[in-house]
Amino acid sequence: MDEIVKAALKKWPNVPACRGWLALDARGDWYMRDERIQAAGPFPEVKGSRITHDKLKDFIHRNYAADAQGAWFFQNGPQRVYVELEAAPWVWRLQPDPGGPVLICAHTGAPARYESAWLDEHGRLFLHTDLGFGVVHTLDMEAASHAVEAGLWQPEDGRFDSFPGRFGYVLSPQQQTL
């Protein structure tokens, strides 16, 4: 977490949390969801405005974490902004590794180590890593297939709706409080 964020938390410790205004889709894109967008429908059916500003995305990435209940948030100074998740808290980008099968990197840029693989009923591939649980980006399925074909990853079948409970995360903190 950024030092400026830690200082803001000390200065203003009781700022109410914000829910419904920020979302992460299954491709690792962030979306702002103002009141009009939230009223138009739930995420991801109605996404909102995609955040394209690189410095803002980097700030979100550095200050992205989960609370004790598994709800993910962005700590924006003294305010905790809870994140609506389309699929999982992490979106994995994969690259071939000259020394091995594949490098795993989160949408935030953080490296991760493989622990297990899961396929949901829609054919989406999820990985459980040392950072946590996430979905493999659709553009990286070829790299993932090499790890599966080499026998390095052995995906287990699972139901999408069981993953949050099994891996300890909340898809919609906003719905959780209603």
- pLDDT tens-digit map of 160-175: 999 999 999 999 998 8
Residue 38's CATH number: 3.10.540
Task: Give residue 132's domain range.
Answer: 90-163
Q: Write down the pLDDT at residue 77.
A: 84
Percentage of residues in the chain with pLDDT exceeding 90?
A: 80
- Give the Cα separation of 153 and 28 in Å (integer): 22
Give the pTM.
Answer: 0.90
Q: Which two tokens stand for residue 84?
A: 């609506």
Output 16 or 80, whichever has higher pLDDT. Answer: 80
Query: What is the number of structural domains in the chain?
Result: 2
- Give the Cα separation of 171 and 162 in Å (integer): 11
Contact 22/83 with Cβ under 8 angstroms? Answer: yes
- Give the Cα separation of 107 and 20 in Å (integer): 20
- Kindly state whether residues 73 and 115 are assigned to the same domain: no
pLDDT, mean of residues 63-67:
96
pLDDT, mean of residues 124-149:
96
